[in-house]
Amino acid sequence: MLSLPSSVSVHRCECELASRQIFLPASPPPPRRSSAHEPGEAMNCLQNLLKEPPIVGSRSMRRPSPLNLAMVRGGSRRSNTVKTYNVVAWQMPPPGATTSGAENSALEVGTEKSEVYSTNMTQAMGAVLTYRHELGMNYNFIRPDLIVGSCLQSPLDVDKLRKIGVKTVFCLQQDSDLEYFGVDIRAIQDYSLKFKDIEHCRAEIRDFDAFDLRLRLPAVVSKLHKLVNCNGGVTYIHCTAGLGRAPAVALAYMFWILGYSLNEGHQLLQSKRACFPKLEAIKLATADILTGLSKNTITLKWEDDSCSSVEISGLDIGWGQRIPLTYDKEKGAWFLEKELPEGRYEYKYIVDGKWLCNEHENITKPNADGHVNNYVQVSRDGTSDEEKELRERLTGPNPDLTDEERLMVREYLEQYVDAEH
């Protein structure tokens, strides 16, 4: 994976676009993996699992601690090798147009990459989702001033967005996302700089990763909020497909800043664009802002002195990665100690390559396919009853913010300042 600089120039541009629809079958219950449903190699090649990717934009940002809200960043940086491919992004030719052999070849490669990406997205997100990169950029107006869509693929997309009044392009992709589909972000940024009435800004969130989404949302929405206040007009929020990260950021912005309840905002979003934002991540991020993000250490144990390797997948790293356990010869067992923010985490053991549940640890109820996982509930020490009640309400089925709570959240987001100053 290419490492990103700590800051990238903010880019200006304007926009227009012909909307293309994407089709998403009805979403099934989130999958729980068994030995018959192991993540494939393609999943590993697409997921860029840095623990905390930086925000990239005009300035580096630091997290504030306003209103007596103690906030601690969770986790250390960790990187994995991500396989990337160089493919030239292209637009679907108009009906009746003839294509060359090279264009046909690009079409075939683009279609294959989209199929792999859609399969991985479905496995990771727990919903049947389809993205066709080869059909070009697609989007939907959620509000007159807010658009959620897929990634820009060439400088021509900047012109398309300019024509519909977009003043801010807010990109959530990482370099590995761009490289997979061969998107030349530099060309898009350089072209955007020719215009003075729009900003092009990047604020990264890791793809297919609800835990990273939870940790990154406050910083990302803070940056978005400031850009919208500065630029006005229409804002275009995008990730790769516009089905996970982008709708989640848009929904958090609607919930924290625009005054929607989470369910109200989600219903509006779904009525405009078939997508799958991770609601649990938004709920947890909201609770983290108002009660603080604390951690506790858990210990997981696999008793078996006859196997040669034991790993765990899930927890806070997602299903596309694995953490090795350490063997204790004296105890004849394998152990993992890990510090996690409070919350509920599902996981599974991989013992000599086989995916297994530990019958001595908590096990989820079977999902629609009969699959189960282990899970652990992490709680903070010394939590007051008031904080517990607040966190339970905010992570419940119908969360909303009081006027006072929304003001606290807004002030928290607005108190991000330039690290340089």
Residues designated catalytic: 239
Instruction: Mention every residue, 6+ apart, whose C-beta is less than 8 A from residue 384.
Output: none
Residue the block writes with tokens 């809200």 = 69
Identify the burial level of 27 via C-beta atoms within 10 angstroms of its C-beta, where 0-12 means exposed, 13-18 middle and 19 or more buried: middle
**Which of 157, 150, 105 minimizes the C-alpha distance to 129?**
150
Instruction: Mention every residue, 6+ apart, whose C-beta is less than 8 A from residue 116.
Output: 42, 46
Is the separation of the CB atoms in 410 and 263 below 8 Å? no
Give the C-alpha separation, 182 to 196, whole Å.
27
Cα dihedral sign for 169, 173, 177, 178?
A: positive
Give the C-alpha separation, 234 to 145, whole Å.
4
Is the separation of the CB atoms in 286 and 257 below 8 Å? no
Is the separation of the CB atoms in 285 and 254 below 8 Å? no
Instruction: Mention every residue, 6+ apart, whose C-beta is less than 8 A from residue 328.
Output: 334, 335
Give the C-alpha separation, 15 to 9, whole Å.
19
Give the C-alpha separation, 220 to 204, whole Å.
8
DSSP 153-192: -SHHHHHHHHBTTEEEEEE---HHHHHHTT--HHHHHHHH
Residue the block writes with tokens 């491919």 = 85
Q: What's phi and psi for 377, nearest 5 deg?
A: -105, 120
**In this structure, what token pair is assigned to residue 251?**
């929904």
Going from the C-alpha of 145 to that of each of 140, 165, 195, 271, the distances in angstroms are 11, 9, 20, 16
Give the C-alpha separation, 20 to 247, whole Å.
17
**In this structure, what token pair is assigned to residue 151?**
């990634």
229 SS3 class: helix
